[in-house]
Amino acid sequence: MNLARRAAVLAILAGALSCTSASTVSTPPVSVPQLAAPAPELEPYRADVEALVREALVNGQSYALLSDLCRTAPKRLSASAGAARAVEWGERTMRAIGLSNVRLEPVLVPHWERGETESLRVLDAAGLPQERLSLLALGGSVATPPGGVSAEVMVVTSFEELRARAAQARGKIVLFNRPMDPAQHDCFAAYGGAVDQRSRGASEASRVGARAALVRSMTMALDDHPHTGAMRYDIDVEPLPAAALSTLAADRLAARVAAGERVSVNLQLSCRTLPDVLSHNVVGEIPGTGVEREIVVVGGHLDAWDVGHGAHDDGAGCAHSLEAARLILARGHRPRRTIRVVLFMNEENGARGAEAYYKGHIDELERHVLALESDAGGFTPRGFATNANPRAFESLRAIVELLDAASANALRVGGGGVDIGPLANAGVPLVGFRPDDERYFDHHHCERDTLDSVHPRELALGSGAIAGLLHVIANLPQPLPRNPQPDSAPSR
């Protein structure tokens, strides 16, 4: 940290600590202490933070909470019976751990179902089905007609290549086969660089007259597990059936096409979209004592794809959020600010819960001092990412340095999460929990996202880290400086 930034941090933290009212942000006279110790103003919090982490490891409930969710509602895609059970579970669990003001907040969610039929067969020269390839329909896809779609496969690695070869694409089934970029250090960045093929591939394929879209699964693992995920159709295109192939299946098809073979396949999907369904975000609080009007949000999303258990995505985030609140209560802390736990609905295929929270709380967003989301899995903590302005960033960095005990002492610039994303429009600093991500996409949106892929200790460390961060943020004498609001913040 350079000296100027150091001075800014100390102005917020040291000045703030001498202030008895946290509801106003006044800038006290700045004196720049020596750099002998890291953020000494935060040292009073260190023992609490370390005790929270220890409690998480020794007497923690993280894995029990996650097990309970995965047993109660292993399949909980929005609008499903499992999602309704997950909402009931969230409400019941919040009451059981001692949260106050527990309530359900309505969210109208899309209703897509996978259906019974999903198959992709390679056809022989006579058009008879041969090898079966592993695939999953993408969420939001239309079905194929009865009997499926049979056509030759065309392989591309980008929309640009597809457009350049548009004449060849007519009547074909297009396979988008660009892998996640292995040169990216951050696996989420690698995902972000490839996922347009999944979300928009069907629309691009439709524009060039193709008949269906296949996409290589969004993972660096080489296995036979396809990974589903959301897709959408541009309004000006005919919707094409769309599905994800396992990486091995994609490689096999692509190798045959690259060798000059004309490979035809038959794709059959019976997925469907039904009318929207009323569901809920689940909300509970630890009421503040002193500046209870100020709110610190922590959350994850309750819905999950209909394969696996949604254990990492995002059962882990739900368990982290609930357990962090439980740890704070178990240690006897009564934070100055209100800590609000939100289990969001419909992150995966619509983000309607995020929108409903933003619109439903718009009148109190100026009192949201920070929002934290855990939606990156239950692996060993590394730290946090934030969109916070430079002054708040440096303050957060000093706070995160207290989280050594949970291996979570890194802070970098980044997003908070889909569910809290809209709060950026109100200037709320957003923070995303960041565990190790090397194996996250091996499990993400596929049948491998099971309870047994989450390690109890790693999950508990995450809860301890989040509890520690919340504890400090909820007790600082002054809130962090807010972010500037974008000019074009959406209205309610």
Sheet architecture: strand order including 212-216 = 129-133, 118-123, 264-269, 149-156, 173-176, 212-216, 242-245, 135-137
* Options 94-102, 314-322, 326-334, 394-402: segment touching Zn ion (CB under 5 A): 314-322
**Cβ–Cβ < 8 Å for 469, 400:** yes
Find the shortest distance in angstroms from Cβ 445 to Zn ion: 9
Q: Tell me which residues in 166-225 interact with Zn ion (CB under 5 A).
A: none
Among 313, 401, 437, 449, binds Zn ion (CB under 5 A): 313
For residue 314, state whether it binds Zn ion (rule: CB under 5 A). yes
For residue 458, state whether it binds Zn ion (rule: CB under 5 A). no
Which residues does residue 151 pair with via DSSP β-bridges, in sequence order? 265
For residue 419, state whether it binds Zn ion (rule: CB under 5 A). no
d(CA 326, CA 341) in angstroms, rounded, equals 10
Q: Which are the contacts of 358, defined by CB distance < 8 A and separation ≥ 6? A: 365, 422, 423, 425, 426, 490
Pairing assessment for the beta strands 430-435 and 368-373 based on DSSP bridges? parallel
Q: Which are the contacts of 310, defined by CB distance < 8 A and separation ≥ 6? A: 70, 74, 75, 76, 303, 304, 449
Q: Which amino acid is at 214?
A: L
Q: Which amino acid is at 106?
A: P
> Closer to Zn ion at the Cβ: 120 or 459?
459
> Closer to Zn ion at the Cβ: 375 or 437?
375
* Options 55-63, 94-102, 311-319, 404-412: segment touching Zn ion (CB under 5 A): 311-319
> Closer to Zn ion at the Cβ: 49 or 319?
319
* Options 62-70, 308-316, 385-393, 400-408: segment touching Zn ion (CB under 5 A): 308-316
> Closer to Zn ion at the Cβ: 204 or 306?
306
294 is catalytic: no
How far does Cα 242 stand from its chain's mean position? 23
Binding map of Zn ion across residues 260-299, x = CB under 5 A, - = no contact: ----------------------------------------
Q: Tell me which residues in 350-379 interact with Zn ion (CB under 5 A).
A: 375
Which residues does residue 230 pair with via DSSP β-bridges, in sequence order? 139
Question: Which among 347, 348, 401, 458 is annotated as catalytic?
Answer: 347
> Closer to Zn ion at the Cβ: 284 or 300?
300
Find the shortest distance in angstroms from Cβ 446 to Zn ion: 13
* Options 272-280, 307-315, 319-327, 366-374: segment touching Zn ion (CB under 5 A): 307-315
**Cβ–Cβ < 8 Å for 321, 466:** yes
**Cβ–Cβ < 8 Å for 152, 173:** yes
> Closer to Zn ion at the Cβ: 375 or 401?
375
Which positions are annotated as active-site residues? 347
Query: Rule CB under 5 A: which residues touch Zn ion?
Result: 313-314, 375
